Amino acid sequence: MTQLNLTDYKGGFSLLEVVISLLIISITFLAYGQLIEQNLRAQDLKQNFIYDHQLKSNVLTIYVANPRVDNSQIRQLLDLESISHRQLSRYNALVEIEIEFIKDSDKFSFKVIQ
């Protein structure tokens, strides 16, 4: 019967093991970097949405508080490039108007029933 000789290796890792571990680490860092980039992009989109919504709410609040307000006052107050409104329809005492305004080359519009 033959006896097995056990040899004790004092060496480190093989080159293949080192390359595979570095590959795993690099893939992890790439994935983490992409997640951070997506998070930053989502935060930017969220800020833009909140700013746009706040601007629309401000214009709507002014029109609801005082329907006869002058457009030049609103344009100056909210630093808009232009603002206009037009009547779409009328039913008895109710009037449907569309308000359009431009700020920083972005066009916004919404409808109000007064």
Task: Look at residue 103 and tell me if it is in a domain.
Answer: yes
Spatial separation of the C-alpha atoms in residues 31 and 35, rounded to whole Å: 6
The predicted pLDDT at position 77 comes to: 87
How many folded domains does the chain comprise?
1
CA 1 to chain centre: 74
Task: Look at residue 98 and tell me if it is in a domain.
Answer: yes
Q: Which residues in the chain show pLDDT less than 70?
A: 1, 6-10
The predicted pLDDT at position 9 comes to: 63
CA distances from 101 to 62, 71, 86, 89 (A): 13, 10, 12, 20
Task: Look at residue 106 and tell me if it is in a domain.
Answer: yes
Q: Which domain holds residue 78?
A: 15-113
Looking at residue 105, what DSSP letter applies?
A: T
The predicted pLDDT at position 35 comes to: 96
Task: Look at residue 7 and tell me if it is in a domain.
Answer: no
pTM of the model: 0.64
Task: Look at residue 42 and tell me if it is in a domain.
Answer: yes
The predicted pLDDT at position 6 comes to: 67
The predicted pLDDT at position 10 comes to: 67
- In the chain, how many H helices and how many E strands? 2, 3
The predicted pLDDT at position 105 comes to: 85
